[in-house]
Copies of this chain bind each other. A is one copy, B any other.
């Protein structure tokens, strides 16, 4: 395991600079996501400094994706029509070299979700796959528990599962949890930023994907983009939790905090280490 300063040599300057780049370039981040937390995704994207777009009609989704810096797919409230449209959008993203971030919400809970997520990781060029232990475990072919859209954990070593799936898919995989595991198959990082409060409101998982998408829109180093995203969002969560009177206040403050996380905050307060 590498120490913090050793990591710093390789990554830290870059991590902070990703936030700087987002705020300079304000990339469009196209979302095809669930109708439960879509507003939160739009706002967190603005807070980190990018610009959210939501569009789904088959007549325009490819055209809109072509303008974007990243495409976030979230199957939280999927149906067959939406799946078809996600594939149209994803094909456009592939054509234009736009990174795709996939949040396989509820994979493992129903067979539609499991099969859809499996089909997506097989047929599409996913840049970042982000899910909880149950979802990532399911997609890695492990015995995993998913209860609705909540993770019930996974059998086996989470780091190995994440790393193995990343290697198999040739993409970056993020297994979210109290300690986020981020791997591209060869390099694996752990991020300890975040706060239990984040599990007490709806949408933090979805928002994390939006933040990662914003980062992936400005660098092709998707491992660093993912680590920066989960760390910056986690720092925002830590700060929002201070003195929060409850989940409502926490959510309000989470947006405030995300908007005020500075580039050097990630370098300074990011609790990221290499495995």
Please measure, in the bound complex, the distance between the C-alpha atom of A251 and the C-alpha atom of B148, giving whole angstroms.
Answer: 26
Prevailing SS type, chain A contact patch = mixed
| A124 interfacial by beta-carbon distance below 8 Å | no
How many identical subunits does the complex contain? 3
Chain A, 9-35, CB within 8 A of any chain B CB: 28, 30, 34-35
Knowing A39-B36, A248-B251, A256-B248 are in contact, say whether A148-B64 is a contact too (CB < 8 A). yes
A110 within 8 A of partner (CB): yes
Q: How many residues of A contact B (CB 8 A)?
A: 60
> Is A255 a contact of B248 with CB atoms below 8 Å?
yes
Give Cα distance in the complex from A80 to B68, angstroms.
22
Question: Is there an interface contact between B256 and A246, defined as CB atoms closer than 8 Å?
Answer: yes
CB distance from A144 to the nearest CB of B (A): 15
The verdict on A155 contacting chain B, using a C-beta distance below 8 Å, is no
Chain A interface residues (CB < 8 Å from chain B)? 28, 30, 34-40, 42-43, 46-47, 51-60, 63-64, 67-68, 76-80, 106, 109-113, 147-150, 200-203, 245-249, 251-257, 259-260
